Chains A and B, each alone.
Chain A
Amino acid sequence: MGPLVPQEIISASWNLFIAFGIGIGFGFVLEQAGFSSSRKLAGMFYGYDTVVLKVFFTGAITAMLGLLFFSLFGWIDLSLIYVNPTFLWSAIGGGVIMGAGFIIGGFCPGTSVCAAAIGKIDAMVFIGGIFLGIFFFAEGYPLIKDFYMAGSFGPIKISDFFGISGGVMAFLVIIAALVMFKLGELAEKKWPREEY
C-alpha cells in the first residue's frame, strides 16, 4: 500500500500539500514540547533539562517501530522508503561542526524555525547564520568536495551492518533509550532548574 505518493496511489501533485500538512504537525509538536526555547534545548548538555533526549529518542523509536510494523502488516514497502546514504567522513565532520553550532547557538535548524514562529529574535538571528553557513559551504564546495564524497557506503542500514534484523536493532535502541531516559531523569533531579 504505502508509501502512497511514490506508488502513485496519491498523485504527485498532492505531495507539496502533504508536505505542508506534515510540517504543521511537526512545528506544532516541537513547540508544544518546548523546543522553541534555546535554554530548554541547551539544558540537555548541562543535565538540568533533558527534554531533547526524551522527545528525540521517543520520536525516533516510534517512527522506527511504526515502519517495522507497517512493513510486517504489508502496509508499506520499505524498499521505496528513502534511506539517507552514508558518507562516513563527511557525516562525522558535519556532525561535529553541527554539534559545535548546537551548544554555541542553542538551536538546530528545525527548532530555530519553530522558535522564530513564536517571536524569538535569537532564533531569527540563528536562521540568518544558517543562511550564511550554507552560502559559505556552497561557495567553498570545490575545496571540500573530495572530503564530502569520501567514505561512501551507499544507503546502508545499521541492522545490515551488524548483521541483525531490523526488529532486533530496534529492540537494542529501545533498551539504550530506556537507560538514557533513566539517566536523564536522575540528572534533572540532581541539577534542578526553574522552567523557562
Chain B
Amino acid sequence: MKTKYMNPYLAGVLLGLVLLMAFFFSGRGLGASGAVKSVVVSAVDIVAPEHTANSAYYSKYVGEGKSPMKSWLVFEMIGVLVGGFLSGALAGRLKWKVEHFPGITVNRRLIFAAMGGILFGFGSQLGRGCTSGSALSGMASLSVAGFVSMMAIFGTAFVLAYFFRKNWI
C-alpha cells in the first residue's frame, strides 16, 4: 500500500525513543488525559472555588501551593499541539475538516465523536490513565496495570466494532 505517512515500524521506534527520553529525563512516561483533567479542575476551581475545596475529588489537586496547570502533562500536551502542527505543516495536511466515512453525515460523525470523547474521558479517570499514560507507558515499565489497560481498551473496541461498523466501513 502506497502511503503518505511514515513507515509504521519506524514511527513506532521513534515513539518508543520519545517515551524512553521521558523516562530517562523525568522518570515518568507519556500521558494525555491527565492534562485535560488539569484543565477541568482549574476551570471548576475558577467557577466554583468552594465546590473544589470541599469535593473529595477536586480537593486533591487544588489548595494552597498547588496549581494544577503547572503540571508535567499540561506542558507535554502543549508540546503535542506544537509537534502535531509542525508535522501537519511539513506534510501539507493542515486543513479544517470533519473527517468521516462517506456513508455517514457530518452531524452523525460529530455526535459520535462527542459521545466517544465523553466515554473516553470518564474511562480514563476510572482507569487512572488513557492509552498513552496507562497502556503505552505502563507496558514499557512492565506494570500489570499497563497490560490490563491495553487488553481492556483494545479488546472492548474489537468486540464492539461489529455494532458500530456502519460508521466506519
Residues of A near any B CB (own CB < 8 A): 2-6, 10, 15-34, 36-40, 42-46, 48, 51, 54-64, 66-67, 70, 75-76, 80-88, 90-123, 125-139, 141-142, 144-145, 147-148, 153, 155-159, 161, 166, 169-170, 173, 188, 192, 195-196
A contact face: mostly helix, strand, loop, or mixed: helix
Task: Assess whether A120 is in contact with B99, with CB atoms less than 8 Å apart.
Answer: yes
B1-55 contacts to A, CB under 8 A, are 1-6, 8-9, 11-33, 36-37, 39-41, 44, 55
Task: Assess whether B8 is in contact with A55, with CB atoms less than 8 Å apart.
Answer: yes
Tell me, rounded to whole Å, the shortest Cβ–Cβ distance linking A84 to chain B.
5
Name the CB-closest residue of A to B130. Answer: A109
Task: Assess whether A133 is in contact with B93, with CB atoms less than 8 Å apart.
Answer: no
Known: A16-B75, A93-B126, A133-B123. A23 touches B82 (CB 8 A): yes
Please name all residues of chain A whose beta carbon is closer than 8 Å to the beta carbon of B144 when the two chains form the complex. Answer: 86, 153, 156-158, 161
Task: Assess whether A28 is in contact with B83, with CB atoms less than 8 Å apart.
Answer: yes
B62-87 contacts to A, CB under 8 A, are 70, 72-73, 75-87
Task: Assess whether B18 is in contact with A26, with CB atoms less than 8 Å apart.
Answer: yes
Tell me, rounded to whole Å, the shortest Cβ–Cβ distance linking A114 to chain B.
4
Tell me, rounded to whole Å, the shortest Cβ–Cβ distance linking A157 to chain B.
5
Number of A-B residue pairs having CB atoms within 8 Å of each other in the complex: 537
Please name all residues of chain B whose beta carbon is closer than 8 Å to the beta carbon of A25 when the two chains form the complex. Answer: 14, 18, 21, 79, 83
Please name all residues of chain A whose beta carbon is closer than 8 Å to the beta carbon of B77 when the two chains form the complex. Answer: 23, 113
Tell me, rounded to whole Å, the shortest Cβ–Cβ distance linking B34 to chain A.
9
Contact residue among B16, B75, B122 (Cβ-Cβ distance under 8 Å from A133): B122
CA distance A189 to B58 in the complex (A): 49
Task: Assess whether B157 is in contact with A80, with CB atoms less than 8 Å apart.
Answer: no
Task: Assess whether A108 is in contact with B32, with CB atoms less than 8 Å apart.
Answer: yes
Task: Assess whether B143 is in contact with A62, with CB atoms less than 8 Å apart.
Answer: no
CA distance A116 to B85 in the complex (A): 9
Task: Assess whether B39 is in contact with A102, with CB atoms less than 8 Å apart.
Answer: no
